[in-house]
Chains A and B, each alone.
Chain A
Amino acid sequence: MKSRSLPGVRFVLGVCLCLLGSLLSAAEVNVYSARKESLIKPLLLQFAEQTDIKVNLITGKADALLQRIVSEGKHSPADLLITVDAGRLYRAQQAQALQPIDSKILKDSIPEQYRDPAGYWYALSLRTRPIMYAPDRVSPEDLSTYEALVDASWKQRICIRSSNNIYNQSLVASMLAHHGESDTLAWSRGLVGNFARSPQGGDRDQIRAIAAGQCDLAIANSYYLGKMLASRDAAQRSAAEKVRIFWPNQKGRGAHVNISGAAVARYSKNRASAIKLLEFLVSDDAQRWYAETNFEYPVKAGIRTSEMLENWGKFKADILSLHQLGELNAQAVMIMDRAHWK
């Protein structure tokens, strides 16, 4: 009997030792991410493999995650907050949920306009929101700026998603920053007047609507077109192939861009690991991953992007400092309410 029970005992002891070992050695970093699991996990796994730092992840809507960090207070396990727009990072900073980070690697990798001046947050990738058009019905010569989309010639020809969406809120916030309230309201009203249909669906739906002939123009984030072109689904590919990108405002301020970014939480218990992870996310490999897998633009200069992004051509990006998008977000939503932009 005794000898029989021995393997069992050994097993239990072994498991206990392993657990103890993992408890002792575990350098950890806790990530609250507004980026979807599938769009961040591969990078996190790579980081964990390289550094032996265990990464724990929860995903969710940025504001809900921020609410959680704030409520949890000084015991919050959050180390790193990842969002998909600058506005939410600004909001987190306002809520005093972040701490400034001073890292040479981060400063050297990320251009000034894509990080907080005091080091509270850093951009990881760029997401652009250009105009998309149907080449068989629209000549690119007729396109110029976001502002020109209110022209009567575009009546019932434009598709765009609902104003609940943060990308549209940021776009309108950027208009506010450049033109002020009354012009932006007039622009929003003009744009709503040119809608081909009541706003609905996501960005891919707008691209599909162009392909199907429901509208001739759309404003949508470029990476959605990239994902459709690279899709396994033939229907998505063929729809995307009927659509082209136009970079607006190239003679002026440049096309609207937002960022995905990250910040270290104020009460982070694993500050060093969190910074390490941040630095990893702007490493050349990670930056290339954004371009190749998610068709976003690297925030770091000199990274070779994917062939598709090269095909779309170079563009000038709006240099508006991004925290303004956060400051003006609420005002932008109010303007869209007043313009009856659903």
Chain B
Amino acid sequence: MGTRNEALVPLGFSQRFRQQKSNLGWLFFAVCTALLLSIPVVTVLYSVTLPTSDIWAHLRSTVLADYALNSLVLAVGVCLGTSLIGITTAWLCSAYSFPGRKLFSWTLLLPLAFPPYIIAYTYTGMLDFAGPVQTSLRTIFDWEYGDYWFPEIRSIVGATIMISLVLYPYVYLLLRTAFSEQSSSLREASHMFGVGSYKTLFTIILPMARPALVAGLTLVVMETLADYGTVHYFGVPTFTTGILRTWFGLGDRVAATQLASLLLLCVFAVILAERYSRKAVRYQNPAKVQKGWRYPLSGTKAIAAIVICSLPVLLGFVVPALQLGAWTLRTAPEIIDYSFLTLIINTVQLAVIVTLIIITASAVLAYGKRVGTHFSIPYTVNLSSMGYAVPGVIIAVGVLLPFAWLDNTLDAWLQQNLGISSGLILTGTLISLAFAHVVRFMAIGLNSVDASLAKIHRSIDDAAQLLGRKTFERFASIHLPMIRGGILTAALLVFVEVTKELPATLVLRPFDFNTLAVRTYELASDERLADASSSALLIVAISVLPILILNRSIIQSGVVHGAQT
């Protein structure tokens, strides 16, 4: 949260009430939006009240502990991994100057273009026992199975590394932003007092950037817990695979949804605990930000910096992209046909629709949170962004159940009263598909817009209000122009995520509506990795474009938006 000052002029009760009242229209709209977006998550949570089946006893006595432990280990591991990469690279690129710094500052974002499951497939293809790397090792040294040790890629450690490699850009992006907004005079002062740069990072810089780090890690943890593709492929039993196994294997959808609720409640608890722990602390940067000064690095130190920054780019983007490229070259002539054009159009179309809805809804909600004084409003708003921690398939169920009910109820009513049938308007159309995506990725948009808004000092709102500006007027003429950057960040990140999304699309899409992710999944799950590479590479290519735009906008404005929540 940014700073939160009360109005400059002390207000009496009646004035406060009037202030509140003038916002009522917007608040009403915001609360309605939040409630609408909460429907799937509430549907999932509602399952807790349903009677439990005896499958729970079985789960408790056999696999539940494994699911919980593995999910925990994975979440903690990915947090450590993304922090390690994200903090180091963001710090190097912000505080030091060394050859290639500018190049790294944007290439470090590229791994974001890889969906976790695709990087997992790609590395497995390379590093597996029967893959080219180990096979060449065996040929060169004339080894047999068991003669040598090689790290097992398909393990929880492997999954942690794979997911960290593609999710660290969230931490990197938000921290780089935060660092760039801190005055470099802090670093200079610390340097002059002879404090080492590590100590400066850990005692001054990082604690000040805590909200940004937490915002990044929250996204990382939620995405990790919702990941299905990677852990499933690696045979690591986690909550997500357990949820799907309970539904598909044991045939108990209710128990599966209850498992998902359990996961959600854990995420809730972690977020609340974190909020509580920094409740008393306010994060305020010096009003005048001085920029530009960086420690110059040379010699071995510069080389070390280059190596450290290039490793995540190489491992998280270049190597897997080259492998996909090699596969594509081999298979493209047989795989690519005109249907690819439709796939691209569908993918982009869905991504654009969802992005537009999310940024609009984010603006409505974030601003509603700002003008609303009732304590329940932040909770209502946050509930609408919980979908990010729910596996896509479960979100799909959370959308399907209420929408189908609505469709059937509407149809029954129309038939009874007007004698016409409306059929299914929501389910099986782009509406339900887009809605599911909005719910799934709302957190990204809301986090980013919310953070931009938080940086605008409250005194501006108060001044505008004293001048008699209405809520919408204030937003449109004052806040909106100031949070443009945050909205752009939100839009681009959401676009990338929708392009990569798979499970919800699979369940909810209309007839003959395929996306690149669907095509990739179908071929890859049929164990045709090389054939899946063309569409996978296209997903990466489509995602790289917004990432580049994002970076350009950051560099141009000199400030990165959406760093703090």
Interface residues of A (CB under 8 A from B): 30, 36-39, 56-65, 67-68, 71-77, 91, 161-164, 166, 169, 198-205, 208-209, 211-214, 224, 232-233, 235, 239, 329-330, 333-334, 337-338, 342
Min Cβ gap B489→A in Å is: 33
Min Cβ gap B284→A in Å is: 48
Partner of B506 from A61, A239, A329, A338 at Cβ < 8 Å:
A61
Given A214-B145, A342-B235: A58 in contact with B249 (beta carbons within 8 A): no
Asked if A72 and B526 make an inter-chain contact with CB atoms under 8 angstroms apart, the answer reads no
Give the residues in chain B near A30, CB-CB below 8 Å.
511
Asked if A200 and B249 make an inter-chain contact with CB atoms under 8 angstroms apart, the answer reads no
Closest 10 CB pairs of A and B: A208-B130, A71-B404, A56-B511, A333-B249, A200-B235, A337-B62, A212-B130, A213-B145, A204-B527, A200-B154
Closest B residue to A169 by CB, please name it.
B249
Closest A residue to B393 by CB, please name it.
A64
Given A60-B506, A64-B396, A212-B130: A75 in contact with B527 (beta carbons within 8 A): no
Residues 223 to 247 of chain B near chain A (Cβ within 8 Å):
232-235, 237, 241, 244-245, 247
- 6 A-B residue pairs with Cβ-Cβ distance under 8 Å, sorted by A, are A30-B511, A68-B507, A73-B408, A76-B424, A201-B128, A214-B129
B478 within 8 A of A: no
Residues 246 to 297 of chain B near chain A (Cβ within 8 Å):
247-253
Give the residues in chain A near B513, CB-CB below 8 Å.
58
Asked if B401 and A71 make an inter-chain contact with CB atoms under 8 angstroms apart, the answer reads yes
Residues 110 to 149 of chain B near chain A (Cβ within 8 Å):
124, 128-130, 132, 134-135, 138, 144-145
Interface string of B499-527 (1 = CB under 8 A from A): 00000001111111110001100110111
Closest B residue to A165 by CB, please name it.
B249
Asked if A57 and B512 make an inter-chain contact with CB atoms under 8 angstroms apart, the answer reads yes
Closest B residue to A76 by CB, please name it.
B424
Question: Which of B130, B233, B527 has the most CB atoms of chain A within a 10 A radius of its CB?
Answer: B130
Closest B residue to A162 by CB, please name it.
B235
Given A201-B154, A342-B235: A334 in contact with B130 (beta carbons within 8 A): no
Docked Cα-Cα span, A177 to B421, in Å, equals 46
Closest A residue to B334 by CB, please name it.
A232
Min Cβ gap A160→B in Å is: 11
Given A77-B424, A199-B235, A205-B527: A38 in contact with B251 (beta carbons within 8 A): no
Asked if A58 and B400 make an inter-chain contact with CB atoms under 8 angstroms apart, the answer reads no
Asked if A330 and B248 make an inter-chain contact with CB atoms under 8 angstroms apart, the answer reads no
Docked Cα-Cα span, A245 to B317, in Å, equals 40
Interface residues of B (CB under 8 A from A): 55, 58, 62-63, 124, 128-130, 132, 134-135, 138, 144-145, 154-155, 232-235, 237, 241, 244-245, 247-253, 330-331, 334, 393, 396-397, 400-401, 404-405, 407-408, 411, 421, 423-424, 427-428, 506-514, 518-519, 522-523, 525-527, 530
Asked if A337 and B63 make an inter-chain contact with CB atoms under 8 angstroms apart, the answer reads yes
Given contacts A36-B525, A198-B155, A209-B129, 20 further A-B contacts (CB under 8 A): A56-B512, A60-B506, A60-B507, A64-B506, A64-B507, A65-B507, A68-B400, A161-B235, A164-B244, A199-B235, A200-B235, A201-B233, A201-B235, A208-B128, A208-B130, A209-B130, A212-B135, A235-B132, A329-B249, A337-B62
Asked if A38 and B522 make an inter-chain contact with CB atoms under 8 angstroms apart, the answer reads yes
Asked if B428 and A72 make an inter-chain contact with CB atoms under 8 angstroms apart, the answer reads yes
Asked if B523 and A38 make an inter-chain contact with CB atoms under 8 angstroms apart, the answer reads yes
Asked if A77 and B511 make an inter-chain contact with CB atoms under 8 angstroms apart, the answer reads yes
Given A56-B511, A199-B235, A338-B62: A68 in contact with B249 (beta carbons within 8 A): no
Docked Cα-Cα span, A64 to B144, in Å, equals 43
Docked Cα-Cα span, A203 to B528, in Å, equals 11
Asked if B408 and A63 make an inter-chain contact with CB atoms under 8 angstroms apart, the answer reads no
Closest A residue to B504 by CB, please name it.
A64
Closest B residue to A94 by CB, please name it.
B251
Asked if A330 and B232 make an inter-chain contact with CB atoms under 8 angstroms apart, the answer reads no
Closest B residue to A88 by CB, please name it.
B248
Min Cβ gap A22→B in Å is: 14
Closest A residue to B132 by CB, please name it.
A235
Give the residues in chain B near A39, CB-CB below 8 Å.
526
Chief secondary structure at chain A's binding surface = helix
Give the residues in chain A near B145, CB-CB below 8 Å.
212-214
Docked Cα-Cα span, A105 to B421, in Å, equals 35
Docked Cα-Cα span, A57 to B518, in Å, equals 13
Give the residues in chain A near B408, CB-CB below 8 Å.
73-75
Min Cβ gap A219→B in Å is: 16
Closest B residue to A74 by CB, please name it.
B408
Question: Which of B248, B405, B509 has the most CB atoms of chain A within a 10 A radius of its CB?
Answer: B248
Given A61-B506, A202-B527, A208-B130: A329 in contact with B251 (beta carbons within 8 A): yes
Asked if B249 and A330 make an inter-chain contact with CB atoms under 8 angstroms apart, the answer reads yes
Give the residues in chain B near A239, CB-CB below 8 Å.
130
Partner of A77 from B58, B241, B248, B428 at Cβ < 8 Å:
B428
Docked Cα-Cα span, A37 to B411, in Å, equals 32
Closest A residue to B506 by CB, please name it.
A60
Closest A residue to B510 by CB, please name it.
A58
Closest A residue to B423 by CB, please name it.
A75
Closest B residue to A62 by CB, please name it.
B248
Docked Cα-Cα span, A211 to B134, in Å, equals 13
Docked Cα-Cα span, A58 to B509, in Å, equals 8
Min Cβ gap A87→B in Å is: 9
Closest A residue to B145 by CB, please name it.
A213
Asked if B424 and A75 make an inter-chain contact with CB atoms under 8 angstroms apart, the answer reads yes
Docked Cα-Cα span, A333 to B330, in Å, equals 39
Closest B residue to A239 by CB, please name it.
B130
Min Cβ gap A304→B in Å is: 25
Docked Cα-Cα span, A200 to B152, in Å, equals 11
Give the residues in chain A near B508, CB-CB below 8 Å.
68
Closest B residue to A28 by CB, please name it.
B511
Docked Cα-Cα span, A257 to B100, in Å, equals 59
Give the residues in chain A near B393, CB-CB below 8 Å.
64
Given A37-B514, A67-B253, A211-B130: A337 in contact with B407 (beta carbons within 8 A): no
Min Cβ gap A72→B in Å is: 6
Min Cβ gap A328→B in Å is: 11
Docked Cα-Cα span, A59 to B55, in Å, equals 29
Docked Cα-Cα span, A195 to B234, in Å, equals 16
Give the residues in chain A near B330, CB-CB below 8 Å.
232-233
Asked if A75 and B411 make an inter-chain contact with CB atoms under 8 angstroms apart, the answer reads yes
Give the residues in chain B near A208, CB-CB below 8 Å.
128-130
Min Cβ gap A240→B in Å is: 11
Closest B residue to A338 by CB, please name it.
B62
Docked Cα-Cα span, A331 to B469, in Å, equals 66
Given A233-B530, A337-B63: A68 in contact with B129 (beta carbons within 8 A): no
Asked if B427 and A72 make an inter-chain contact with CB atoms under 8 angstroms apart, the answer reads yes
Give the residues in chain A near B424, CB-CB below 8 Å.
72, 75-77
Give the residues in chain B near A166, CB-CB below 8 Å.
248-249
Min Cβ gap B444→A in Å is: 24
Asked if B427 and A71 make an inter-chain contact with CB atoms under 8 angstroms apart, the answer reads yes
Min Cβ gap B334→A in Å is: 7
Min Cβ gap A75→B in Å is: 5
Docked Cα-Cα span, A235 to B530, in Å, equals 12
Asked if B427 and A164 make an inter-chain contact with CB atoms under 8 angstroms apart, the answer reads no
Asked if A214 and B130 make an inter-chain contact with CB atoms under 8 angstroms apart, the answer reads yes
Partner of B248 from A63, A71, A161, A342 at Cβ < 8 Å:
A63
Asked if B527 and A203 make an inter-chain contact with CB atoms under 8 angstroms apart, the answer reads yes
Give the residues in chain A near B247, CB-CB below 8 Å.
63
Docked Cα-Cα span, A342 to B249, in Å, equals 13
Docked Cα-Cα span, A56 to B428, in Å, equals 12
Docked Cα-Cα span, A123 to B330, in Å, equals 36
Docked Cα-Cα span, A219 to B404, in Å, equals 41
Partner of A205 from B130, B232, B509 at Cβ < 8 Å:
B130
